[in-house]
Chains A and B, each alone.
Chain A
Amino acid sequence: DAGVTQSPTHLIKTRGQQVTLRCSPKSGHDTVSWYQQALGQGPQFIFQYYEEEERQRGNFPDRFSGHQFPNYSSELNVNALLLGDSALYLCASSFRRGANEQFFGPGTRLTVL
């Protein structure tokens, strides 16, 4: 059973560009969350998707948007990239119901030049 997978592994963009990151959840999981982890910091919650809708959102601007597909996979889109968007972007999946831990993917390292 594959765990959470993310693509691409690394990405380099320039300021003002747009980027799309992809995530496939662990088999059977129905909920996907996205986190931003800046260097030397803990992950910061961006948003969570369940049943193809954004259910909860952290303190991130509208430049950050997402999508969940019927097969539960998800995308994170960031528009008008800023230097400060450089970070490791982590996807986590879980079951919606219950006190369940989240399983994390290896992350996508985004560098904005």
Chain B
Amino acid sequence: AQSVAQPEDQVNVAEGNPLTVKCTYSVSGNPYLFWYVQYPNRGLQFLLKYITGDNLVKGSYGFEAEFNKSQTSFHLKKPSALVSDSALYFCAVRLPYGQNFVFGPGTRLSALP
């Protein structure tokens, strides 16, 4: 069965500092990997995805993610955090032959001024 872990419930970072939100997954095969962000009382917004190719993927709002196949990880990063980055972040996987996404439990990011 597919599963996604986000080991940190909460990540605190000072504005201007780099941020990392961690994600590991357990699936068979080569999954597609995604990051979404959710602001209060809103739906999920797509940030970036990894399908194949370069392990470093660049996405929206200055975010990037690094795929590591040996560690089955897909950590979200940003070189310099903004207060407006404070939100709930979800990692998700999808198998190439499937259509549904499996989401992690989410990590709440707080970027403080």
- Decide yes or no: A31 and B104 within 8 Å by CB, A4-B43, A42-B90 being known contacts: no
Q: Cβ of B105: which chain A residues have Cβ within 8 Å of it?
A: 41-42
The one of A31, A41, A107, A109 in contact with B99, judged by C-beta atoms closer than 8 angstroms, is A31
Q: Is B45 an interface residue (CB 8 A)?
A: yes
Beyond A31-B99, A42-B105, A45-B101, whether A101 also contacts B45 by CB under 8 A is: no
Give min CB distance, A16 to chain B, whole Å: 27
Contact A58 B100 (CB under 8 A): yes
B→A interface (CB under 8 Å): 4, 32, 34, 36, 41-46, 49, 51, 90, 94, 96, 98-106
- The contact of A33 among B49, B51, B100, B104, by CB within 8 Å, is B100
Given the contacts A4-B43, A103-B46, A42 and B100 also touching, CB distance less than 8 Å: no
A104 to B92, CA, bound (A): 13
Q: How far is the CA of A44 from the CA of B96 in the complex (A)?
A: 19
A-B contact count (CB 8 A): 58
A90 & B106 in contact (Cβ 8 Å cutoff): no
Cβ-closest 9 pairs across A and B: A42-B103, A104-B43, A104-B44, A45-B100, A99-B51, A106-B43, A101-B46, A99-B32, A42-B105
Option from A31, A50, A56, A106 in Cβ contact (under 8 Å) with B42: A106
Q: Is the CB of B49 within 8 A of A48?
A: no
What 1/0 mask marks residues of chain A from 40 to 53 whose CB sits below 8 Å from any chain B CB?
11111100101000
Question: Could you tell me how many residues of chain A have their Cβ less than 8 Å away from some Cβ of chain B?
Answer: 27
Instruction: Report Cα–Cα, A44/B101, bound state, in Å.
Output: 9
**Of all chain A residues, which has the CB nearest B45?**
A104
Question: Is B49 in contact with A101, judged by CB distance below 8 angstroms?
Answer: yes
Apart from A43-B103, A99-B51, A103-B46, what are 13 other A-B pairs with CB-CB below 8 Å? Answer: A31-B99, A33-B99, A40-B106, A50-B99, A56-B99, A90-B44, A99-B49, A101-B46, A101-B49, A102-B46, A105-B43, A106-B42, A107-B42
Query: Can you list 11 A-B contacts (CB < 8 A)?
Result: A41-B105, A41-B106, A43-B44, A43-B101, A44-B103, A45-B100, A48-B100, A56-B98, A58-B100, A90-B44, A96-B99
